[in-house]
Amino acid sequence: MGGWHRKHIIALKDLSRKEIETIFETARNFKEIAQREVKKTPALRGRTVINLFFESSTRTRISFELAAKRLSADVLNFSPSTSSLSKGESVIDTIKNLESYHPDIFVIRLGLSAFLDTLKRYTQASIINAGDGKNEHPTQALLDMFTTHQIKGTLENLKVLIVGDILHSRVARSNIFGFQKFSSSVRVCGPHTLIPYEFEKMGVKVFYDLSEAIKDVDVVIMLRIQRERQKEVFFPSIREYVEKFSLNPQRLKKAKDNCLIMHPGPINWDVEISSSLKKRLHPVILQQVENGLAIRMAILYLIGTQKKSDEDIN
Amino acid sequence: MKILIKHATVVNPTETFNTDILISNSKIIKVREGIKERVDREINAKGKFVMPGFIDMHTHLRTPGREDEEDLLSGSYAAVKGGFTTVFCMPNTTPCIDNEGLVRWVIEEGEKIGLVEIFPVGAITKERKGKELTEFGALAKAGCCALSDDGNSVENSMLFRKALEYAKMFDLLIISHCEEKSLSKGGVMRESFVASKYGISAIADISESLRVYRDIEIAKYVKAPLHLAHISCAKSVEVIRRAKRQYPYFTSETAPHYFILTVDDIEKSGFSGNFRVNPPLGEKKDVEAIKEALKEDIIECIATDHAPHSFAEKEVPFEEASPGFIGLELAFSLVYTYLVKEKILTLQDVVKKLSTNPARILKLSLRGEIKEGFLSDIVIVDLEKEWQVTEDKLLSKSKNTPFLGYLLKGLVEYTIRRGKIVYKNE
């Protein structure tokens, strides 16, 4: 895959449309391989990928692990429990320590926003962001976009709506940056208390009423409502949230026909989405999971096989 | 010891003139042209500017408790290198400077070192917990001229009112840290589009301005003086400007980073821990408002809020970094580069902000001016010299400053305190 020059995948805000298209193109090839009987390719043989998850994750970690294994890389999973580490300094110490094994790629999930740009100074290896705080979750957004492209046939000039806890969502931020690169317009919708300050400056339209926001949209991305955040002051009750912001068949009618609904999972049924939509969502969710694997294989492949001399970008 | 400073250009708060200055021990003896006298030391100050020694109303010397980050000796070195002859150190120490024993100890240890005059600021409440008042009388007797729970606002409004009232009996100045913590809790940078874009927990500017308003209202009600620490945002400036019209008996300070840096600089640094500070850096409108307030003289002082932190506390993720910058060695050069060269303030204004006003507000007599009979606390600066901020040049034990790498104009050449040359740039 000629022309790939980026060493790290840290944020979609940094990626160009061309780079995203290259990732998609590569992912398409890997999807095809996944259908074969022998699903493994030797592309990353002899390379070491370390999955370093400072925050717990099942889906993303499994997806990355399998992606690396399918590419024949040696994979090490490391999930230091945050309690055993005295936070901050130790993130750097951990990286420095693991650096001694000369890994090629770190896949990192971290509870802190926007630290990976600093962290990359401490390693020779590439860093792939598997979700950093409330900042970005680039592979999730890429798989959402890839799924959208597959179903809609395009990523251009779509109306995309993201609903829920925008304030705390790295998925929302990455999707906004990603879809906007393809001239799609993005709307966000949620209670006032969960929309970040001056968020219109992101180039998005902000709505506080789902029935209004959903009009004529092509894609809806529903975010998970974290029940544990309720004890803070964001909204008084699930009941009230459901009434205003839950996606149900009635509200969905206002969207375009065949509107695509996605969710990064895990879903709180009957909170953010009515369980009567289960049937409609299930095939998409499975497709998202499958695409997630292909996207992560593509990224590992592009980063892992680029010539060392190209490694100066970023 | 007698020192003669020849061919000086003296900058006083209200005038600038060429003169010679004769110092004998702790006093300025003569300020006139053509002094001929046998002295121990003669300094040729041709082309240099001579000002009254700077007074920092807001320093953290980390003593007692965190001497690994700064101690009285390293803090003294840093102070005199920055042209400061008097510093006020805040009581957020371990143990807290909330009793006369510690106040005396800090003053005595400072005097033993003998480079800079160190005035401990005592705590308003025991252990700065906001529950019980400290013994103001004992603190005043031990040598405090000001009290503050720096780092914390006195949450309980009744207690704050009582503190202001009670402090009047001892002529103690209450210095207030303005932060409404229910609004700032969990936040690490100013609420702004940059914070939203990167998902960084934010602090709204009203967290400061609301408390500024409350504190001024209470001071006005009980007719007490009040000093507001490290004002950082446009909203607070607005509140101060309005309040000054009715009640001019309160004062305030800002720190250099608040008229230079913004949230955009945090973004450009890639969210380096070295850029985290409390109150947090604002936006362009805040920087502009602070400059305007300095110009109008509704913010009377520039303090450093010198806050040393060890490498381990700053070389960590932005969200986990300890807030604060060192500032003693940089303050004058930052002020000169960003306010004087940019024509926001004159050199005379700078003398006011860094020396005359703090002396007046803290009722320190015979300071803040170059005048016969005044204390011989003097700083000589070279405004032509340019220097780059690098870790190895800094005498503070800690190196945490967002200005590393900056090219600054203006350098302190000599600092003289009570007739002794306490710093000379070699």
Q: How many CB pairs under 8 A join A and B?
A: 78
Burial of A32 (0-12, 13-18, 19+ CB in 10 A): exposed
Q: Do B196 and A196 touch (CB under 8 A)?
A: yes
The answer to whether B35 and B50 are in contact (CB under 8 A) is no
Is residue A229 pLDDT above 70, yes or no?
Answer: no
Facing residue for A201 by CB, picked from B191, B193, B315: B193
Give the pLDDT band of residue A90 (cuts 50, 70, 90): confident
State percent of chain A over pLDDT 70.
93
Is residue A1 pLDDT above 80, yes or no?
Answer: no
Question: What is the ipTM metric for this complex?
Answer: 0.91
Q: Do A87 and B193 touch (CB under 8 A)?
A: no
The answer to whether A197 and B193 are in contact (CB under 8 A) is yes
**For the residues A230-244, what does the mean pLDDT come to?**
85
CATH 3.20.20.140 range(s) for chain B read 53-361
Q: What is the CATH number of domain B2-49+375-424?
A: 2.30.40.10
Name chain A contacts of B197, Cβ cutoff 8 Å.
Answer: 13, 173, 201-202
Q: Which of A83-87, A183-187, B272-276 has the lowest mean pLDDT?
A: A83-87
Q: CA-to-CA distance for A138 and A128, rounded, in angstroms? A: 9
Q: Do B270 and A88 touch (CB under 8 A)?
A: no
**For the residues A151-156, what does the mean pLDDT come to?**
97
Cα B12 to Cα A113, B17, B68, B84, B341, distances in angstroms = 48, 9, 38, 16, 18
- Write down the pLDDT at residue A228: 67
- Write down the pLDDT at residue A47: 96
Distance from CA of A13 to the nearest CA of B (A): 10
Q: CA-to-CA distance for B252 and A76, rounded, in angstroms? A: 56
Low-confidence ranges of chain B (pLDDT < 50): none
Contact A8/B at CB under 8 A: no
The answer to whether A261 and A218 are in contact (CB under 8 A) is no
- Write down the pLDDT at residue A311: 47
Average pLDDT of chain A to the nearest whole number? 92
| DSSP labels, B65-124 | T-TTT--HHHHHHHHHHTTEEEEEE-S-SSS-S-SHHHHHHHHHHHHHH-SSEEEEPBPS
Q: What is the pTM of this model?
A: 0.93
Which homologous superfamily does the CATH classification assign to the domain defined by B53-361? Metal-dependent hydrolases (3.20.20.140)
Tokens of B34: 């053509």
The catalytic site residues of B sit at 305
Q: What residues contact A109, with CB distance under 8 A and at least 6 apart?
A: A52, A53, A54, A55, A57, A60, A61, A130, A131, A132
Distance from CA of A57 to the nearest CA of B (A): 19
pLDDT tens digit string along A26-54?
999 999 888 889 999 999 999 999 999 99
Name chain B contacts of A169, Cβ cutoff 8 Å.
Answer: 199
Is residue A81 pLDDT above 80, yes or no?
Answer: no
Domains of chain A in sequence order: 17-137+290-310 (3.40.50.1370), 138-285 (3.40.50.1370)
Name chain A contacts of B271, Cβ cutoff 8 Å.
Answer: 113-115, 117-118
Name chain B contacts of A202, Cβ cutoff 8 Å.
Answer: 193, 196-197
Is residue A116 pLDDT above 80, yes or no?
Answer: yes
Give the pLDDT band of residue A272 (cuts 50, 70, 90): very high
A 279-308 residues with CB < 8 A to B:
none
Give the pLDDT band of residue A82 (cuts 50, 70, 90): low
A 121-140 residues with CB < 8 A to B:
133-136
- Write down the pLDDT at residue A236: 86
State percent of chain A over pLDDT 90.
81
Residues of B with CB under 8 A from a CB of A: 191-193, 195-202, 204, 270-272, 312, 315-321
pLDDT tens digit string along A210-228?
999 999 999 999 999 977 6
When scoring A13, A86, A89 by the number of chain B Cβ atoms within 10 A, the one with the most, hence best to mutate, is A89
Distance from CA of A38 to the nearest CA of B (A): 41
Facing residue for B316 by CB, picked from A88, A168, A199: A88
Is residue A85 pLDDT above 60, yes or no?
Answer: no
CA B325 to chain centre: 12
Contact A115/B at CB under 8 A: yes
Q: CA-to-CA distance for A204 and A144, rounded, in angstroms? A: 18
Q: Do A134 and B202 touch (CB under 8 A)?
A: no
- Write down the pLDDT at residue A314: 46
Name chain A contacts of B188, Cβ cutoff 8 Å.
Answer: none
pLDDT tens digit string along A194-214?
999 999 999 999 999 999 999
Q: Do B198 and A135 touch (CB under 8 A)?
A: yes
Nearest CA in chain A to B311: A89
Contact A74/B at CB under 8 A: no
Q: Do B320 and A87 touch (CB under 8 A)?
A: yes
CATH 2.30.40.10 range(s) for chain B read 2-49+375-424
Name chain A contacts of B201, Cβ cutoff 8 Å.
Answer: 134
